[in-house]
Amino acid sequence: MNDHDSGVSACFPAFNDAGSIGWVAHRAREVLESTGRDFEILILDDGSVDETAEVLERLAGEIPELKALRHERNRGYGATLRDLFAAARFPLVVYTDGDGQFDPGEFTRLLDAATPDVQLVNGFRRKRADGPLRRLLGPRFHRVIAETFGLPALRDWDCDFRLFRRDLEIEASMTFDDGTAVVEFLAGLGDRGIRFAEVEVSHSERRAGASQYFRPQTVVSGHRNLIRLWRRRASPPIRLGAWWNAAGR
């Protein structure tokens, strides 16, 4: 998989990311061009109501490898990832969010770890740039989710900075339109016993704007979908003990 003939599809979901997506796209092009691989950059605007569409139109004229996609209405993070992955045409897919919290310049860390026997490379945050409450509670909650749903034993599965092989056809396992789809496809990979590697990555505050994914209605609907996924997976025991085991992770 480290063969330079292995092309890369870099995917970025974007929602109201007009202030950051330009930096993200140019940074991705810079690093991918330096690898000598064939590549494409796919950005999907999930019904943004700011100037994201206009910024992407300009970027498409500046970056030949960029393809801009759009949902006319906001459909959700999972639906956006699903459509991005379905559109990817190269053997390796890397993705992260369009808000600039993860640096696309570190895609080389994912590519370097993608040895022939590895199907997934996942980032883990060197230091989380989240607020104090999320830094305290987030890892504990995520550990409960990981052990309940049988996700691969990743240090930071909620780190949306990853690489996977296109032939896994991850999008086929994604039925939820919100962030539950990430739990869904990782649970599917856990069922398949895929081989993975992990790399340390940096994490920063958003370059512009505010997160759209932690509004009360989004959190409530997300938990409802987690319950639906739990039922679909034959209601496995909820590993509440993992809450305490997550300390220090």
User: What's the length of the chain?
Assistant: 249
Residue 199: count of CB within 10 angstroms of its CB: 20
Amino acid at 81: L
Closest to 97 measured CA to CA, from 194, 25, 169, 176: 25
Q: Which residues of the chain have pLDDT under 70?
A: 1-5, 130-137, 207, 209-215, 246-249
CA distance 6 to 134: 37
Domains and CATH numbers, the chain: 8-137+151-210 (3.90.550.10)
Residues 6+ apart with CB under 8 A from 214: none
Instruction: Dump pLDDT digits (tens) for 27-74.
Output: 999 999 999 999 999 999 999 999 999 999 999 999 999 999 999 999
DSSP state of 105: G
